[in-house]
A = this chain, B = another copy of it.
Amino acid sequence: MPSLMMQSGSRAMQTKATSLPRSAVAKTVRSRRSLTVQAADKTVVVGLAADSGCGKSTFMRRMTNIFGGTPKPPAGGNPDSNTLISDMTTVICLDDFHSLDRTGRSREKVTALDPKAQNFKLMYEQVAALKRGEAVDKPIYNHVTGLLDPPERIEAPKILVVEGLHPFYDPEVAKLLDFKIYLDISDEIKFAWKIQRDMAERGHSMDSIKKSIESRKPDFDAYVDPQKKDADMIIQVLPTQLVPDDEGKYLRVRLIQKENSKYYNPTYLFDEGSTISWIPCGRKLTCSFPGIKMFYGPDTYFGQEVSVLEMDGQFDKLEELIYVESHLSNTSAKFYGEITQQMLKNSTFPGSTNGTGLFQTIVGLKVREAYERIVRDEKITA
């Protein structure tokens, strides 16, 4: 696939100079173990909010893959650690800041979604310390036992990703975040996915699944969902509009991009600022049923100006993906075909043939761009 790697003069390619040369990156990583930190060493903090079971870990793997290395739990630590460390990124799970373990929540009659079950003060202190470049001893919430395990040592990475139910619920924690992402799965799709996993794979009954969803919904709507209005980018996952589909087999995925972000420029289709719908399948591409429909246009989101990029349907051939990529602009890719290359590299991940994979990859590239802009700005002000 050498053509994907080829530098090209095309409009689709936006080569960006990395503000930090490779050798400097490596050097900074090494010097980070010291507590003496310079301005330019500050950790960039990314928040990812989503409900449980909504593909945060897939998203994280796509994002960390862009920065290189294989995400692994801390070496020699607790096998039930929720932390994933790779070359430049460390992903921590905010469940580790539960103030109440499973027994405690049961006793107090609160769900894991309730702010009462979270220790926001500790979350703030430890994220703030990591942001300053300091190592912390972070608790571990053991999802297997439901207990809080002894803490693990977390060193300050280049990029810290905090993922969980409440990354921007607490205003103090929210202020620490340089970039906020919200993964918004519609109720229909959550239900379809839960059916598939809990009924087909775990043998739960339809009734118990419905009850479990309904019991979570009030707290989810009260404490998790409202965070999305503050995100810089939102990935919204909806049922397809191409065909009737109760099983969530095909997805309509929308990438909601805030305008006037300091850290990224929204990706667009063909003509920035206009409204476009595009069915790339036609005389040159033969898509299989139900095909692909892309949409792009301006909109408002909780009173804020946004640009929406949408993909309904799924790819079934490599040519289709590279064809779609070549018609997107401001993707933050560093070379022609980078999105397709990333999607191919992660082709076994869920969502690789639809808009969730595509937009998670684009968000990953935006995070890289945001990271590079922040590092560059700090170098200037340092």
Q: Which residues of A contact B (CB under 8 A)?
A: 270-285, 297-298, 327
Contacts and interface: CB of A to CB of B under 8 A. Distances in A.
A109 to B, nearest CB: 49
Nearest to A284: B273
A281 to B, nearest CB: 7
Nearest to A273: B283
Nearest to A326: B271
Contacts of A283: 272-273, 298
A277 B274 contact: no
A327 to B, nearest CB: 6
Contacts of A273: 282-285
Contacts of A279: 274-276, 297
Contact of A274 (B271, B272, B281, B297): B281
A327 B269 CA distance: 13
Given A282-B297, A297-B279, A270 B270 contact: yes
Contact of A271 (B272, B280, B297, B298): B280
Contacts of A277: 276-277
9 contacts: A270-B278, A271-B278, A273-B282, A273-B283, A273-B285, A274-B279, A279-B297, A282-B297, A282-B298
Nearest to A291: B275
B270 A284 contact: no
A281 B273 CA distance: 8
A278 B270 CA distance: 10
Across chains A and B, which 7 residue pairs bring their CB atoms closest together, nearest first?
A273-B283, A275-B279, A273-B282, A274-B282, A273-B284, A277-B277, A270-B270
B274 A276 contact: no
Contacts of A280: 271, 274
A271 B279 CA distance: 10
Nearest to A295: B277
Nearest to A259: B283
Contacts of A297: 279, 282
A270 B323 CA distance: 13
Which one of A270, A276, A285 has the highest number of Cβ atoms from chain B below 10 Å of its Cβ? A276
